[in-house]
Amino acid sequence: MTKIIDGKAVAKKVNTQTATAVAELAAQGIQPGIAVIIVGDDAASQIYVRNKNRKATKLGMHSVVRQLPATTTQDELLAIIAAYNTDDSIHGILVQSPLPSQINEPLITMAIDPKKDVDGFHPANVGKLITNFPGNYPVANTPRGIMTMLQEYDVDPAGKTAVVIGRSTIVGKPMAALLTNANATVTIAHSKTADLKAVARTADILVVATGIAHLITGADIKPGATVIDVGMDRDDNGKLVGDVDFDSAQGIAGLITPVPGGVGPMTIATLMQTTVELAKWSDVSE
């Protein structure tokens, strides 16, 4: 019998903890602050940013949304980031992707102060994650949220075989690093992997983050495996589906995240959690 991982329930628990942490900081005269910068009018980005702002405000944080026109130049965006880097009321800075073609996204990532890099994408923070560096630093929120879900459902990666399908810097690579740091034996698979589905069948923990609807079916899953579906795709009827064929995985996977209601809620909850941590760490020098 396949058990469903309830991302909404885990996110609610994380948000409750975050609200408590916000109240504790408020008693010390600190209000965690997050600035989200969005360039252009991408519809999906507008929804994401609105949800982030609503959640931050609900949790008692100082939330700023900076909406910029699609014609914004790279220098203009860099100047805004520089201002937030020195703004003591802002502890986390997020620049929403995608960015217009005239802007170099890696350069923008580099411009954010690593101590305010709420997305965990700055090379300094990625390097710390890869080397399992001790201390406090932000980690990409979707992979971190997945690790929280695994913990909540008593899935210990230690000694297990994990396969991460997808090698993005947003999910795949940091996910593989977190699982490696948790003592799993990790394979990163992708579009060039020979016999991808055979590799998937080796996984005790299978994380799929490709953006390809129903890439993985029940036949590609090891019986009893924990399956984490990061996909947010649309089928031919416009229905929201994942990278994993949820129906055919039933009765084969031991645990599985649904789409929607799995990884998605955890990403925003973890972003809020990270913002509060950055506020706590703001006076601590590494």
Please check if 144 is assigned to a binding site.
no
User: What is the C-alpha to C-alpha distance for residues 220 and 34, in angstroms, rounded to an integer?
Assistant: 41
- Considering only CA atoms, which of 263, 179, 182 is closest in space to residue 229? 263
Query: What one-character-per-residue DSSP string does 99-113 give?
Result: --TTS-HHHHHHHS-
Residues 122, 110 contacting (CB under 8 angstroms): yes
Tokens encoding 97: 């992707």
- Which residues neighbour 247 within 8 Å (Cβ) at sequence distance 6 or greater? none
Annotation says 52 is catalytic: yes
Please check if 167 is assigned to a binding site.
yes
User: What is the C-alpha to C-alpha distance for residues 26 and 16, in angstroms, rounded to an integer?
Assistant: 15
Q: Which of 116, 117, 119, 222 is catalytic?
A: 119
Annotation says 250 is catalytic: no
Please check if 135 is assigned to a binding site.
no
- Ramachandran angles phi, psi of 160, nearest 5°: -95, 160
Q: Is 279 exposed, middle or buried (0-12, 13-18, 19+ CB in 10 A)?
A: buried
Alpha helices (H) in the chain, listed in sequence order: 7-26, 43-58, 74-85, 105-111, 123-130, 141-152, 172-181, 196-200, 246-249, 263-281
Q: State the Cα torsion 167-170-176-181 to the nearest 10°.
A: 160
Beta bridge partners of 4: 256
Residues 269, 146 contacting (CB under 8 angstroms): no
Task: Report the relative pairing of strands 205-208 and 161-165 from DSSP bridges.
Answer: parallel
Annotation says 283 is catalytic: no
Catalytic (active-site) positions:
52, 96, 119
Which residues are annotated as part of the binding site for NADP(+)?
A: 166-168
